[in-house]
Structure 1
Amino acid sequence: MKIKLALLMAVALALPTYAMAQEKGGVLNVATIGEPPTLDPMTSTADLVGIVTQHIFETLYTFDKKWGVTPLLAESLPEVSADGKVYTIKLRSGIKFHDGSDMTSEDVVASLNRWVKLASRGKQASGFIDSIAAADASTVTIKLKQPYAPLTSLLAFNNSAAIIIPAKKQADTMTEFVGTGPYMLKERKADQYIQLVRFKDYKPRSGESDGYGGARHQYLDEIRFVPVPDANTRVEAAVSGQYDYVDSLPVESFDKLKASKATQPLLLKPFGYPVFVFNTAEGPAKSLEIRKAIRQALNMEDMLAAAFGSKDFYALDGNIYPAPYSWSTDAGVKGNYNVADPEGAAKAAKAAGYDGKPIRILTSRQYEFHYKMAQVAAEYLKAAGFQVDMQVVDWATLTQRRTDKALWDIYITHSPFLPEPALIGSLAPSSPGWWDTPARKTTVDAFSAEADPKKRIALWADVQKAIYADAPFMKIGDFNAVAAVSTKLKGVDPAPWPYFWNASITK
C-alpha cells in the first residue's frame, strides 16, 4: 500500500557530502536518553530498546525509505493466498546467528511463537493467527483465521519486535542476546555503556541500502550506546563533540548546535506526536466521564508551547495523522480536542462522581518535553478541581511502572507517525492503558481485516472516531525532533529510530 510520507523526515540543514568511499574502522559513540529497561525488543515497546537492539537482532521484514515493507531475513515478500489467509514466507539462506549456528525455519517458528506469547504486538496479531509452521527448512507458513492486513507491518516493526533468535534460546526472560544482526553484544555495563562489535559472519542483503532495508554495511568496528539522562548534559556534550550522535535534544538547543564546529543539528519534521495515555482499567481514569473531563480541562496549545517554544517545532492538530498522510482524518476531533475549559471540566468531573482522589501523572525528565507538558497539564487539572500527583521517574522505571495497573492514571509518551496505524500500541488491549471496549474491537477488527487500501482509509476514520469517543489516550499535537550529528560522522540518515550499520567515522 502506498502512503504519502513525503514529509516524514527532513534534514534541518545540509550535512556534508563526501565523494570518497566511506572509511572502515573506528568506534561510534551514541548518547541516548538513558538506560534501556531490557535488551529483549520483543518484551518492550520503548523506542530506546528498539534503537539499540535493531543492530543486534533482525526481523523477517523491515521498512524501506518510503515506509514500504521490504524483506530482511525473508528472501522476499510473502506469497499470500487468494483468500488472504495463508502467508508463505521463504527464508534467506546462509544466515548465521552470533553463536555460529545457522538460521532455519525451526528458529523462525519458535521465535514467532514466542512473539505471539510475549510481545504486545504479537498478542495483537495472535487472535487472527491459526498456526505457524515450518513447511521445510527454508519456508514458514502462517495460517490466519481471517484476513489480517497489518501482519507484514507488524512483522517488520522494531518495537515489540518479531525478532528471530535460535530455537534453543527461547526462554521468556532473555539472558543470552544472540541475533543475526550486523553487530553483536560484547559488554553491557549498567548506566555506563552498551558495547556492540562487528559480527564477522554477517550476511547483508545485496543491492543498495534503502531506509532500514537493503544492504546493511559494517564500516564501524564498534558502536557504544551511552546513557546521558539529563537533556542539558546531552546538549553540552553535543556542542563539544563528545559524542558522534546525540539523540532527543530540546528544540531550544537548535541554534546552539547550528553554531557548533563539532556537530550539526538534525531535524526530523514532522517527527510524531506527544500522547497522554489513560489507565482505563483501574483508578479514577477507569471512568469514561472522568477521562473526558480531564481532556476537557486541558489546553493543548499551551502544553505544546511550553514543551517546544516556537511554532517552528510544533503544530496544533487533533488528527492522529496530519496532512498529507493518507490516513489523515478529522473524524471525532471537533469538540474533543484543545477544549481548554477547566470550569466546564470541573462541573463534568463533579457530575461523574469525582471523589478527590489524586490523578497520578507518570512522566520522565529524560524526555524534557514530556515533563514540561505534564507541568502545564497539572495546572489546568488543578484549576478544574482535580488533585494531581506528579510522579517523575527515569524512563526505564516509567516503562516498567506503566505495566502495573495499580500505579498510575496517566502516563506521558510520544510516537512517531507510524506507516501502518495498526502499529499504534494503544490499539491493543494488552498495551498499558488496556483499552478494551466494544467500539475498539468493532472498529479495529474491521480495519485490520480489510485488505483494500481505499476502504482501509475510511475504516481508519472509524477507529479515530472511537478513540475520541472512548478517550483511551489523548494526542497533544505534532512535533519536530532534534538530534545532533558529528561533522566527522557519515552515512546516517534522519530516522525516528536512528540506525548506524551504514555509518562511518572520517579520520
Structure 2
Amino acid sequence: MGRLVNVAALVAAMVLPAAHGAWADPVKGGVIDVATVGEPPTLDPMASTADLVGIVTQHIFETLYTFGKDWAVTPLLAADMPQISADGLTYTIPLRTGIKFHDGSDMDSADVVASLERWEKIATRGKQAAEVIAGIEAPDANSVKITLKKPYAPLLSLLAFNNAAAIIIPSENAGEDPLTKFIGTGPYMLKDRKPDQFIQLARFDGYKSRDGESNFYGGARKQYLDEIRFVPVPDPNTRVEGAVAGQFAYADALPVEAYDKISGGKTKPVILKPFGWPVFVMNTKEGLNSDIRIRKAVQAALAPNDMLTAAFGSTDFFAVDGSMYPEGFAWHNIVGIDAYKPDGDTEAAAALLKEAGYDGSKPLRILTSRQYEFHYKMAQVAQAYLEQAGFKVKLDVVEWATLTKNRQDPKLWDIYITHSPFLPEPSLNGFMSDTTPGWWATDAKHKAVEAFNAESDPAKRAKLYEDVQKVIYDEAPIYKVGDFNALAAQAPNLEGVTPAPWPFFWNAWLEK
C-alpha cells in the first residue's frame, strides 16, 4: 500500500486546546450527542458507500483490518497481518480468539467466510475484490485463506475500509439482504433507532479490545462513554447553532464560514487539513454523459476557482488543484492536468457541444443536496458556467439519503456531486470500480487500473498511478473540483477524540 509522506502534517487536525491544557485522566460514564448531516440510508455498511453510514456503523461492526497511524493497514479482528505466498496469490489470515458478537455468540472462521462472501455480492468494494478472488475458505476455526486469481495490491486496504465495508457478522445473518439484525463485534451496540430523531448506541460489555495503545482507527478501543447518540441535523446552520449552544458534544461537516462563531464559548473548532476533494461524478452509462464529447465539454466549462470560492470563501479552506492527490502524497503527479482549467473555458466547451450535436433540448441533470451546503454552492456556480457554454441545466436538490438512493438509478441523473477524503489507497475511490454509480468501464481504464493494482512495489505503483490519472482526464468520468479543508465542532469537556475524516468516539470521555 502506498504510504503518505509526512502525514502528520498533511492530515493535520487542529483542536483549540482547553484552558487547562493537557487531557485529564479518562473518566467512565456519560452520554454524548453527535450531530450528523442527516439520517443514514441504511445501517448496513456493506450496502452503502455513504460516509455517514460508515461514521455511525464503525462503532457497531468491525473488519479484519483497519487503518493505523500514517494510514498503514493494521489488524483489528485479524490477530496479525496475513501470511502472503511468494506468488502473491494466497493470503492466510489468523483470527483473534475470544471475540463475541453482540448476541453473545463467539466469532470464528465460519462467520468470517460467510461475511466476506456476502461482501463480494453486496458491497461495491466487495464486488471490486471479487473480480480477482478465486476463493475464500476456512482451514480451521481460527484462520481464513483468501486465494486470488492474480496479484492484487489493494486487497488489504479494501478489507480495512469502513465504506462498503467488509464487516464481520454472525454467519446466520450473512444471508440477509437487506440486513435486519445489526449484530457486530464493535465496542458499542445498537440500542434504539428513531428515524430522523436519533440512533442510540450503548456500550457492549462483552467487547474485547486489542491490547496496547490506541493507533488511529486501530489499536486499543476503550469504552468510556455509556452511550453515543447520533442525531440527524440536515440543516448546516442548525448544526452550528446547536454546537455553539452546547447541545452537541460533536457536530460534523460544518460550513467553514462558521469558524469564528464556533471558536468561543461552549464549543471549539476542529480542522482537518487538507481533508479531501469535492467531485462531480458523471453518468457514463446512460443519458447525455454517456457521450465522451459531452463529458469533455463539462470538463472544459467548469471553473474550479469560482466554484471553490463560492463554496469555501477563503483560500485558508481550499486550494485550486487538478492533481488527484495533493503534494506530499505518494500518488501526487501532474499528468493530464492540462485539461483542468481553473477559470473554465466555455468557448472550448461550446465547440465540443457543437461537435456532439447537442441542441439544448435535453437538460443536463445535476443531482445534489443542501445538507452539504458546499455541494449546493458549487452546483449553482457550475450551472452558470455550463449554461454559458450552451447547456440547458436542471438542478435536482434532494435530501442526502435520497441522493444516495437516486444515484443508483442511471435514468435519474447525469452528474451527482459528492466529496471524499484523500484515501490512502487510490483503488478505494469508488470510481475505480466498474459497478459504482457512474459505471465507468472502458478498455483504457482497465488497462491502467489493472497494471496499477497488480504491482506491489510502492515506487513502481506511484509511477503507474500517472497512467491512471491520465485516463481519468482523457475520459472525464469524474471532475475533481479541488482540495478542501473540513470543519467540525467539539465540546471542550469531550476528551480523547482523535481528529479523523470519519470521526469515532471509542477512547473518548467526558471530563467531569
Counterpart code for 1:297 = A
Q: How does 1:215-254 map to 2 (within 5 A)?
A: 215-254=220-259
What whole-Å deviation, never above 9, does each CA across 1:246-265 have from its counterpart, x for those lacking one?
Answer: 0000000001111x211000
Which residue matches 1:371?
376
Which residue matches 1:187?
192
Q: Name the SS of the counterpart of 2:444 in structure 1.
A: helix
Which residue matches 2:14?
12
Larger mean CA deviation between 245-254 and 234-243 belongs to 234-243
Q: What CA distance in whole angstroms lies between the structure 1 residues aligned with 2:11 and 2:266?
A: 23
TM-superposed CA distance for 1:428, in Å, is 0.4
Is it true that 1:115 corresponds to 2:116 in the alignment?
Answer: no
Which residue matches 1:162?
166
Is it true that 1:302 corresponds to 2:325 in the alignment?
Answer: no
Which residue matches 1:95?
99
Q: Name the SS of the counterpart of 1:41 in structure 2.
A: coil
TM-superposed CA distance for 1:19, in Å, is 4.9
What is the count of residue pairs matched by the alignment? 506
Counterpart code for 2:211 = S
Q: How does 1:49-448 map to 2 (within 5 A)?
A: 49-170=53-174, 171-258=176-263, 260-338=264-342, 340-356=344-360, 357-448=362-453
Larger mean CA deviation between 14-23 and 303-312 belongs to 14-23
Counterpart code for 2:440 = W
Q: What CA distance in whole angstroms lies between the structure 2 residues aligned with 1:446 and 1:99?
A: 43
Q: What CA distance in whole angstroms lies between the structure 1 residues aligned with 2:148 and 2:399?
A: 40
Counterpart code for 1:11 = A
TM-superposed CA distance for 1:346, in Å, is 1.3
Q: Name the SS of the counterpart of 1:175 in structure 2.
A: coil
What whole-Å deviation, never above 9, does each CA across 1:15-67 have from its counterpart, x for those lacking one?
Answer: 23445311100001100000000000001000000000000000000000210
Counterpart code for 2:42 = T
Q: What CA distance in whole angstroms lies between the structure 1 residues aligned with 2:357 and 2:460?
A: 41
TM-superposed CA distance for 1:10, in Å, is 2.2
Q: Name the SS of the counterpart of 2:14 in structure 1.
A: coil
Q: What CA distance in whole angstroms lies between the structure 2 residues aligned with 1:23 and 1:103?
A: 30
Q: What CA distance in whole angstroms lies between the structure 2 residues aligned with 1:337 and 1:79?
A: 46
Counterpart code for 2:40 = P
Which residue matches 2:508?
503
Q: What CA distance in whole angstroms lies between the structure 1 residues aligned with 2:250 and 2:11?
A: 17
Q: What CA distance in whole angstroms lies between the structure 1 residues aligned with 2:134 and 2:367?
A: 38
Q: What CA distance in whole angstroms lies between the structure 1 residues aligned with 2:53 and 2:23?
A: 34
TM-superposed CA distance for 1:13, in Å, is 4.3
TM-superposed CA distance for 1:123, in Å, is 0.6
Q: Is the 8 A contact 1:296 1:338 kept in 2?
A: no
Counterpart code for 2:144 = V
Q: Is the 8 A contact 1:296 1:339 kept in 2?
A: no
Q: Unaligned regions of 5+ residues in structure 2, if any?
A: none
Which residue matches 2:4?
3
Q: What TM-score, normalized to structure 1? A: 0.99
Counterpart code for 1:416 = P
Q: What CA distance in whole angstroms lies between the structure 1 residues aligned with 2:467 and 2:348?
A: 27
Q: What TM-score, normalized to structure 2? A: 0.98
Q: Over the residues paired in the alignment, what is the CA RMSD in angstroms?
A: 0.9
Q: Name the SS of the counterpart of 2:402 in structure 1.
A: helix
Which residue matches 1:465?
470
Counterpart code for 1:289 = R
Q: What CA distance in whole angstroms lies between the structure 2 residues aligned with 1:337 and 1:207?
A: 49
Counterpart code for 2:152 = Y
Q: Name the SS of the counterpart of 1:448 in structure 2.
A: helix
Show structure 1 runs of 4+ deviating over 6 A.
none
Q: Is the 8 A contact 1:59 1:72 kept in 2?
A: yes
C-alpha distance 19-42 of structure 1, shift in aligned 2 (>3 A) = closer
Q: Is the 8 A contact 1:9 1:494 kept in 2?
A: no
TM-superposed CA distance for 1:336, in Å, is 3.6
Q: Name the SS of the counterpart of 1:418 in structure 2.
A: coil
Counterpart code for 1:273 = W
Which residue matches 1:452?
457
TM-superposed CA distance for 1:117, in Å, is 0.6
TM-superposed CA distance for 1:14, in Å, is 3.4
What whole-Å deviation, never above 9, does each CA across 1:340-363 have from its counterpart, x for those lacking one?
Answer: 111221121011111321000000
TM-superposed CA distance for 1:176, in Å, is 0.5
TM-superposed CA distance for 1:298, in Å, is 1.0
Q: What CA distance in whole angstroms lies between the structure 1 residues aligned with 2:468 and 2:11?
A: 26
